[in-house]
């Protein structure tokens, strides 16, 4: 009997077969501090490559069920701690074809035409930079992406070394990226700070939730203003190459996004001056850009950061219909309008269909562990691919940003819709709203963004805040079922 994907609030035990065959990181994010991403282009021998994938899947790939069974985080009791590796394997449409799979015309449901065309084909629609300006490793074809995550950087380095050496016999490693979690000084019960991104804002707060255990935890703050529950069908699709009724996968969008932190902060200071903000009130400028203060407090609910450690996500914009508290262009209002109508014709339910599950991790920065890991992975790639080290160092170590990754059922209706029709669209959610100041890509347009001088007051000023995030390259992937990988 096939499973019911329209359900949310799911009990783990009812979906065990599906969860055992589904890769981890989709329905719940990995929480590990470090990640290594290995991008592959298969060499000619498809049989040898398939054999390698089978072996890799058997030894490394983490199932959703395993992820739920294992405590993810280190225990306070150090005797309970031992290093663990979490791994994914994703294929691009080009990768399926290189392995000898007939995709075109054979399967009506799979793959989607967006996935088949690949990210480069949508450059004009997504307003992405010309491909010759993408990072070298993203310019050519990419067949597969291996994602490894662990809490200890040294252990991850060893594991990545083993995997990279083995895979280099069947594939060329065209690119590697190293991610690491950034934290603020707000220590939580697990002894670590809250997770943030490079501009300094808390990240990973608002996500679609699937499991009863996650939903119940979140419901303590209520769900009458915003319900984070999502049906499995928001992210899962049947894997037609899987071995059974319970074989599912998910489409994955990967984009390396470089952040100009200095430029962002300078512009933020200029906005402080433009709005005449003084003292503690100055922090409102950044909050008007993101829609949350740096500590995560939603600006539509409060005119200052509350320093609250609880996740505040039960809100919408029904009491802020003129955008006087949270501007219409703010990053979280653009990417999740929560029922905002403006000139939009979509109902709340329709808007909710565009949601994505974000699994991004920052890259770059000054942490010694991260720098050692990045340079070790780069050196190894240099050794395995005979590329000049200097070229790799410049290519991979430059700057800081976000290794953006999201899962969904339908790339066109979810990530692409969000990026094209909301984030990059000057006239969403209403005429002359302006671009999303964080994720907006494309030509800077005059006018648009308007910022209220005082919280909740009508007087607004025009000011352009754009172009501090630049796309470096990416690709569309599919996260196949584990039974497909094990029998490929």
Answer yes or no whether residue 251 interacts with ligand HEM by CB under 6 A: no
Site string for ligand HEM, 347-366 (x = CB under 6 A): ---------x-x--------
- Kindly state whether residue 259 participates in binding ligand HEM, applying the rule CB under 6 A: yes
Please identify, among the stretches 18-26, 99-107, 332-340, 345-353, the one whose residues bind ligand HEM according to the rule CB under 6 A: 332-340
Binding mask 454-473 for ligand HEM (x = CB under 6 A): ---------------x----
Query: Tokens standing for 384?
Result: 């395995």
Compute the least distance from the CB of residue 128 to ligand HEM, in Å: 11
Buried b (16+ CB within 10 A) or exposed e, 41-53: bbeeebeebbebb
Distances (CA, A) of 164 to 69, 145, 158, 167, 171: 28, 12, 10, 5, 10
In terms of CB distance, is 112 or 335 closer to ligand HEM?
335
Is the sign of the CA dihedral 89, 95, 96, 100 positive or negative?
negative
Query: Least Å distance between CB 235 and ligand HEM?
Result: 13
Q: What is the CA radius of gyration of the chain?
A: 22
* DSSP bridge pairs for 41: 172
> DSSP E strands: which ranges in 320-386?
357-358, 361-363
Q: Which of 199, 248, 254, 417 binds ligand HEM (CB under 6 A)?
A: 199
The CA distance from 375 to 393, in Å, is 7
Supply the minimum distance, in Å, between the C-beta of residue 188 and ligand HEM.
16
CB of 312 to ligand HEM, least distance (A): 10
Cβ within 8 Å of residue 203, ≥6 positions away: 195, 196, 197, 360
439 is a contact residue toward ligand HEM (CB under 6 A): yes
Q: Which stretch binds ligand HEM (CB under 6 A): 127-135, 165-173, 366-374, 417-425?
A: 417-425
Q: Which is nearer to ligand HEM, 114 or 259 (CB)?
A: 259
CA distance 187 to 218: 20
Least distance in angstroms from the C-beta of 205 to ligand HEM: 4
CA distance 179 to 158: 16
As measured in angstroms, the least distance from the Cβ of 256 to ligand HEM is 10
Backbone angles phi, psi at 419, to 5 degrees: -70, -45
Please, which residue, 178 or 469, has the CB nearer to ligand HEM?
469
**3-state SS, residue 202:** strand
Instruction: Give the β-pairing of 144-150 and 86-91.
Output: antiparallel
Cis omega before residue 316 (within 30°)? no
**In this chain, which stretch among 13-21, 45-53, 269-277, 329-337 interacts with ligand HEM, using CB under 6 A?**
329-337
Give me the residue label for tokens 């890259």.
Answer: 363
Among the listed residues 56, 74, 86, 201, the single contact to ligand HEM using CB under 6 A: 201
Give min distance, CB of 396 to ligand HEM, in A.
17
Query: Which H helix or E strand runs over 67?
Result: helix 64-69
CB of 199 to ligand HEM, least distance (A): 6
Q: Segment near ligand HEM (CB under 6 A), from 94-102, 193-201, 341-349, 389-397? A: 193-201
Interface with ligand HEM, residue 381, by CB under 6 A: no
Looking at 143, 177, 197, 475, which residue binds ligand HEM (CB under 6 A)?
Answer: 197
Minimum CB distance to ligand HEM, residue 311 (Å): 9
- Are 292 and 202 spatial neighbours (Cβ–Cβ below 8 Å)? yes
Stretch that binds ligand HEM, among 30-38, 80-88, 204-212, 231-239 (CB under 6 A): 204-212
- Closest residue to ligand HEM using C-beta atoms: 206
> Among residues 61 and 416, whose Cβ is nearest to ligand HEM?
416
206 scored as a contact of ligand HEM (CB under 6 A):
yes
Specify whether the CB–CB gap between 331 and 439 falls below 8 A: yes
From the list 75-83, 125-133, 167-175, 415-423, the region that binds ligand HEM by CB under 6 A is 415-423
- The strand pairing partners of 90, in sequence order, are 145
The three-state secondary structure class of 153 is helix
Mask of contacts with ligand HEM, 385-404, x by CB under 6 A? ----------------xx-x
Which tokens hold the place of 61? 């790939």
For 265, which DSSP code? H
Count CA atoms closer than 13 A to 330's CA, side-chain side.
29
Question: Would you tell me which residues interact with ligand HEM (CB under 6 A)?
Answer: 197, 199, 201-206, 257, 259, 290, 292, 331-332, 335-336, 356, 358, 401-402, 404, 418-419, 423, 438-439, 469
């Amino acid at each position: 009997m096939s499973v019911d994907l329209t359900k949310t609030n799911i009990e783990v035990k009812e979906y065990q077969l599906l969860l055992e065959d589904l890769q981890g990181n989709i329905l719940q994010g990995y929480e590990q501090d470090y990640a290594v991403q290995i991008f592959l282009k298969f060499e000619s021998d498809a049989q040898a490559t398939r054999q390698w994938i089978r072996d890799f899947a058997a030894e490394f790939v983490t199932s959703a069920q395993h992820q739920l069974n294992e405590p993810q985080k280190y225990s306070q009791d150090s005797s309970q701690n031992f290093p663990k590796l979490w791994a994914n394997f994703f294929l691009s449409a080009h990768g399926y074809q290189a392995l000898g799979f007939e995709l075109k015309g054979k399967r009506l449901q799979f793959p989607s035409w967006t996935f088949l065309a690949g990210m480069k084909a949508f450059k004009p629609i997504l307003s992405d930079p010309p491909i010759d300006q993408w990072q070298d490793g993203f310019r050519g074809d990419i067949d597969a992406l291996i994602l490894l995550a662990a809490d200890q950087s040294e252990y991850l380095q060893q594991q990545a070394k083993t995997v990279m050496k083995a895979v280099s016999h069947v594939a060329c490693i065209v690119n590697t990226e190293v991610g690491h979690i950034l934290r603020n000084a707000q220590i939580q019960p697990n002894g670590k700070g809250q997770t943030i991104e490079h501009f300094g804002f808390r990240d990973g707060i608002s996500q679609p939730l699937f499991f009863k255990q996650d939903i119940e935890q979140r419901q303590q703050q209520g769900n009458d203003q915003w319900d984070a529950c999502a049906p499995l069908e928001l992210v899962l699709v049947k894997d037609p190459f899987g071995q059974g009724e319970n074989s599912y996968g998910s489409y994955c969008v990967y984009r390396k996004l470089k952040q100009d932190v200095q430029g962002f902060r300078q512009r933020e200071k200029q906005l402080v001056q433009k709005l005449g903000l003084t003292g503690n009130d100055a922090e409102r400028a950044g909050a008007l850009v993101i829609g949350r203060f740096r500590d995560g407090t939603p600006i539509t609910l409060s005119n200052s950061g509350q320093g609250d450690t609880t996740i505040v996500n039960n809100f919408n914009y029904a009491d802020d219909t003129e955008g006087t508290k949270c501007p219409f262009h703010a990053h979280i209002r653009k990417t999740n309008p929560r029922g905002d109508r403006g000139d939009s014709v979509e109902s709340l339910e329709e808007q909710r269909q565009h949601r994505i599950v974000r699994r991004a991790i920052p890259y770059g920065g000054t942490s010694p562990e991260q720098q050692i890991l990045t340079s070790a992975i780069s050196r190894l790639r240099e050794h395995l691919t005979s590329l000049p080290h200097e070229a790799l160092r410049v290519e991979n170590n430059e700057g800081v940003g976000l290794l953006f990754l999201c899962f969904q059922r339908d790339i066109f209706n979810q990530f692409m819709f969000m990026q094209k029709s909301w984030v990059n669209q000057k006239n969403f959610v209403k005429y002359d709203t302006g671009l999303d100041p964080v994720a907006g890509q494309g030509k800077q347009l005059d006018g648009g963004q308007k910022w209220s001088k005082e919280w909740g007051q009508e007087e607004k000023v025009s000011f352009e805040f754009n172009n501090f995030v630049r796309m470096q390259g990416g690709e569309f992937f599919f996260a196949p079922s584990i039974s497909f990988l094990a029998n490929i």
